[in-house]
Amino acid sequence: MKHLPLATLIAAALAAPLASAETLNVYNWSDYIAEDTIEKFTAATGIEVNYDVYDSNEVLEAKMLAGNSGYDVVVPTSDFLQRQIAAGAYQPLDKSKLGNLGNMDADLMEGLAGYDEGNAHAVIYMWGTTGIGYNVDMIQERLGDDAPTDSWSLVFDPAVAAKLADCGISVLDAPTELLPAAMNYLGLDPRSTEKADFEAGADLLMAVRPYIRYFHSSQYISDLANGDVCVSVGWSGDIFQARDRADEADNGVAVTYVIPKEGALQWFDTMAIPVDAPNPDAAHKFIDFVMDAQITADITNYVWYANGNAASMPLVDEEITSDPGIFPTDAAKQNLWASKVYNARQDRTVTRLWTKVKTGQ
């Protein structure tokens, strides 16, 4: 037998426990978890976590449909979840391993069942709306007291948007959210899948395209907070995070989020386990850990998104539960619409129109 040098044997012995440590690979949206959630999970379970982030359902979907992503837990939005379940991308949850399932809000989970029959594959992580964040002073300076800050006009009316081009309008790079918002503004059904309606929405976006500085789904948090853009079509909690960052920096930037009076998309992000997850057992432990009332409350208190965990609500800061931008009023709820699941043909139409809008050609 070949004799190895002592230093090599010592190095191997030291490395052994690390090599055998259990790991979990999580793929979540950026800016979407409390600072200490992962640390607490590892302390509670001994499972090390590799944590990656994305800011687009399309990016996640490409990985899920290609397979072999290596991820154990991912966070698709409900409409994308449905399409990916149909493609066989997720494994059924083993509910015997999810002792905290009873913490979830029964009504919200029933709503999710419209996308995932019997809640077989996913549980709600967070939910929110897609609306408008704006810099209060910059808008006032440019549009005065008549600024339509409660309306999609702030972005979709070319005469208004033109006046805001210099301070910067950003828009989510999320075609399945922006086209319906534009359609809704035109008085069309935001859940329509008619080609002509998608085209009308795209035409409206083309009319304001010269005034849009960029399309991006995470950069706007810091840009709004720093006063580098003055209007962002964005996700509710992200805008509140921008407001929070500006407050903490004490930089004189005042950011506000509004659900426009014409209505907005309400969406649900969910936790699911890819069909080929390397460590489904650890994935169940992670999902169950997150469903703990205190852990979910900590996440909501940090990221400013509503969650689907009824037991966590008494532990959520009152500043959050009482904010109508996070928990819409009953009146605002009347104008919210749910994500529509597109088939492949509709998806191609939306993708083609979105490319046209983004390139401005």
Q: Which residue has the tokens 């009152």?
A: 318
Q: Which residue has its beta carbon closest to ligand SPD?
A: 267
Considering the rule CB under 6 A, would residue 173 count as an interface residue with ligand SPD?
A: no
d(CA 26, CA 38): 10
Binding residues for ligand SPD, total number by CB under 6 A: 10
Instruction: Based on the shown chain and the rule CB under 6 A, indicate whether residue 32 belongs to the binding site for ligand SPD.
Output: yes
The phi, psi pair for 117, rounded to 5°, reads -55, 130
Interface residue with ligand SPD, options 152, 198, 235, 257 (CB under 6 A)? 235
Q: Among the candidate windows 29-37, 195-203, 246-254, 282-290, which touches ligand SPD by CB under 6 A? A: 29-37
Q: Contact between 222 and ligand SPD (CB under 6 A)?
A: no
Segment lying near ligand SPD (by CB under 6 A), choices 23-31, 62-70, 131-139, 141-149:
23-31
Per-residue binding string, ligand SPD, 64-83, x by CB under 6 A, is: -------------x------
d(CA 316, CA 304): 10
Cβ-based neighbour number of residue 298 at 10 Å: 21
Q: Measured from the CB of residue 57, what is the shortest distance to ligand SPD in angstroms?
A: 6
Distance between first and last Cα of the chain: 70
Footprint on residues 78-137 left by ligand SPD (CB under 6 A): none
Query: At its nearest, how many Å lie between ligand SPD and the CB of residue 207?
Result: 24
Nearer to ligand SPD, 78 or 119 (CB): 78
**CB-based contact 237:326 (threshold 8 Å):** yes
Choose between 77 and 349: whose C-beta lies nearer to ligand SPD: 77
Smallest separation, CB 28 to ligand SPD (Å): 8
Q: Which one of residues 238, 288, 292, 298 is an interface residue with ligand SPD (CB under 6 A)?
A: 238
Question: For ligand SPD, which is the closer residue by CB, 238 or 298?
Answer: 238
**Alpha carbons 93 and 86: distance in angstroms, whole number:** 15
Give the nearer residue to ligand SPD in terms of CB position, either 211 or 302.
302
30 lies in the binding site for ligand SPD (CB under 6 A): yes
In the DSSP assignment, the letter for residue 209 is G
| Alpha helices by DSSP H, the chain | 6-20, 37-45, 57-66, 78-86, 106-113, 136-143, 153-156, 158-164, 175-185, 195-208, 220-226, 236-249, 280-290, 293-303, 318-321, 330-333, 344-359
| In the complex, least distance from residue 134 CB atom to ligand SPD, rounded to whole angstroms | 18
Region of residue 67 (left: phi > 0; alpha: psi -120 to 50; beta: else): left
28-47 CB burial, b ≥16 within 10 A, e <16: bbebbbbeebbebbeeebeb
Interface contacts to ligand SPD, rule CB under 6 A: 29-32, 77, 177, 235, 238, 267, 269
